[in-house]
Structure 1
Amino acid sequence: MQIADLGNVQLHYRIDGDSDGAPVVFANALGTDLHIWDAVLPLLPEGLRFIRYDTRGHGRSSVPAAPYSMGALVRDAEMLLDHLNVRDCVFVGLSLGGMIAQGLAVKRLDQVRALVLSNTAAKIGTAKMWQERVDAINSNGIASLAEAEMGRWFSPNFRARPELALWRSRLLQQPEAGYAGCCAAIAGTDFYTPTSGLRLPVLGIAGDRDAATPPDLVRETIELVPGAQFQLIRKAGHLACVEQPEAFAKVLGAFIHDIGHPSGTA
């Protein structure tokens, strides 16, 4: 298990692929951990270095006292990449991870050469909605959100499959303080103006059955950046990389190829 001690937070991370390859960094969604990328990585082009990490308060990363700010989550990513001497990466973020990606690109263009914004937006939901979710956790625990979360994460077809139990279990294993802390970060974030100032390659990915960040919301954010691409993955909910890993890997791999992100020795 690899842990980066960044002072006020300790982040669990994992590196796969070619140790000399160009870096591709992955940031997870609210209520998940780095395992959401398990099925995608083996399908991506060889010769790349894949770096995954658990957002603070999730997985095996530490759980600082809530609430968190988006600035703190962006700073975590920035410090981790500095710790690993990463520059010019393709940064792939899903949902909460996609918001972190936007903030990091605005702050550190030396670290990020391209963005993949999956099932995310410049602004997600309302402060009232996120406070209600925090209140539910504080009153009844994260289990009280599980049914609704599965409905947002996955299409009806996936919810009928045995694998659903695994993802429900992974949600229930997430620290409640970490989940609530990240809810506060999302509630306080509106990246419409900073994201509209970005000028770098961007790929947006949406799931046609996503009840959390519907395709039109994702597209609205992607269109803020001139020249950005948008891809819709069919038969996929919010966790498109879990539900349709082959389709996800296909569009991600094509984007990496199209922007000339080198494989092999970086």
Structure 2
Amino acid sequence: MPIAHVNGTDIFYVTQGNPSHPAIVFSNSLGTDHSMWQAQADALSKAFHVIRYDTRGHGKSASPAGPYQLEQLGRDVIALLDFLHIDQAHFCGLSMGGVTGQLLGINAGTRINSLVLANTAAKVGNSEAWLSRAAAVRANGLQSLADTAASRWFSPAFIEQQSAAVTALSDHLAGESAEGYASCCEALADADLRDQISAIANTTMIVAGEYDPVTTVADATFMQQKIPHSHTVVLAASHISNIEAEQAFTKALLSFLRIS
């Protein structure tokens, strides 16, 4: 099992494609893992060295005791690049992964070729709600959150049409590390990049979901107005747009990477 022992923890990762090709790193959303990006990884692997990893506290990565900080999540990415001897990479993150991407653009822009910030915001939710969720998860586990995750992640039409895929993702969330999930909630509670994202110099594509109740089109518009070299793509999807609008997301990603 490919594990990078970096930044004081163990980060699981998988790679596809030729290591001599340009690298792209995919970062998962809260409560998922690297597998959420399978369709995009398959589409890009002929032209890119694709790296997917599980954010600390998720999937097959370690779940050290928290709370975590956003800076830790960013340092994990840089340490993984160092471990793989990659000087620069494109970066695509969704939701929590998109917050990590913003931090990288602010603090480590020279290591990033371009950014894709999907279904995210410079400030996701509010601190009190994240801290309350972290406490509830530590006390009661993840099952109750998993039971209601579909309505936050996908549109009603997608839930009806792709019930097996939705159930699999919800079941995966229920089996995640409660400590890891709660610790990432605490990182998001402290994360507020609204006054910093104007420092991102990387070419950036911001992806929003038309039906996303979590990180809205208005959040994407705010980021686009702040990040100098950015544009927004709105897809007919809810929060996990790369799965709900898989073909449209992948098409937009391929088009962006050709010009970035």
Q: What's the offset of the Cα at 1:147?
A: 3.0
Contact 2:105/2:201 (CA < 8 Å) preserved in 1? no
Map of 2:187 onto structure 1: 185
Contact 2:94/2:118 (CA < 8 Å) preserved in 1? yes
**Structure 1 counterpart of 2:153, which letter?**
W
Query: CA deviation digits over 1:61-92, x for unaligned, max 9?
Result: 00110111111111111111111122231100
Give the whole-Å Cα distance in 1 for the aligned partners of 2:72 and 2:99: 12
Write the mapping of 1:161-172 to structure 2, written as runs, cut at 5 A: 161-172=163-174
Question: How high is the TM-score relative to the length of structure 1?
Answer: 0.93
Contact 2:7/2:75 (CA < 8 Å) preserved in 1? no
Higher helix share: 2
SS of the equivalent of 1:211 reads coil
Give the whole-Å Cα distance in 2 for the aligned partners of 1:26 and 1:144: 28
SS of the equivalent of 2:195 reads helix
Contact 2:7/2:79 (CA < 8 Å) preserved in 1? no
Q: What's the offset of the Cα at 1:250?
A: 0.3
Give the whole-Å Cα distance in 2 for the aligned partners of 1:240 and 1:20: 29
Query: Which sits farther off after the overlay, 179-188 or 219-228?
Result: 219-228
Query: CA deviation digits over 1:161-220, x for unaligned, max 9?
Result: 222111111111210000000000000011112211111200000111111111111221
Contact 1:43/1:246 (CA < 8 Å) preserved in 2? no
Contact 2:205/2:256 (CA < 8 Å) preserved in 1? yes
Map of 2:120 onto structure 1: 120
Give the whole-Å Cα distance in 1 for the aligned partners of 2:164 and 2:62: 30
Write the mapping of 1:125-204 to structure 2, written as runs, cut at 5 A: 125-160=125-160, 161-204=163-206
Map of 1:222 onto structure 2: 224
Give the whole-Å Cα distance in 2 for the aligned partners of 1:240 and 1:184: 24
Q: What's the offset of the Cα at 1:135?
A: 2.3
Contact 1:41/1:249 (CA < 8 Å) preserved in 2? no
Give the whole-Å Cα distance in 1 for the aligned partners of 2:165 and 2:10: 30
Map of 1:21 onto structure 2: 21
Give the whole-Å Cα distance in 1 for the aligned partners of 2:44 and 2:12: 22
Map of 1:252 onto structure 2: 253
Give the whole-Å Cα distance in 2 for the aligned partners of 1:158 and 1:166: 14
SS of the equivalent of 2:25 reads strand
SS of the equivalent of 2:39 reads coil
CA RMSD of aligned residues (A): 1.3
Relative CO higher for 1 or 2, CA cutoff 8 Å, sep ≥ 6? 1
Give the whole-Å Cα distance in 2 for the aligned partners of 1:44 and 1:186: 29
Percent of aligned positions with the same letter in both sequences?
35
Structure 2: runs of 5 or more not aligned: none
Contact 2:109/2:200 (CA < 8 Å) preserved in 1? no
Map of 1:210 onto structure 2: 212
**Structure 2 counterpart of 1:202, which letter?**
T
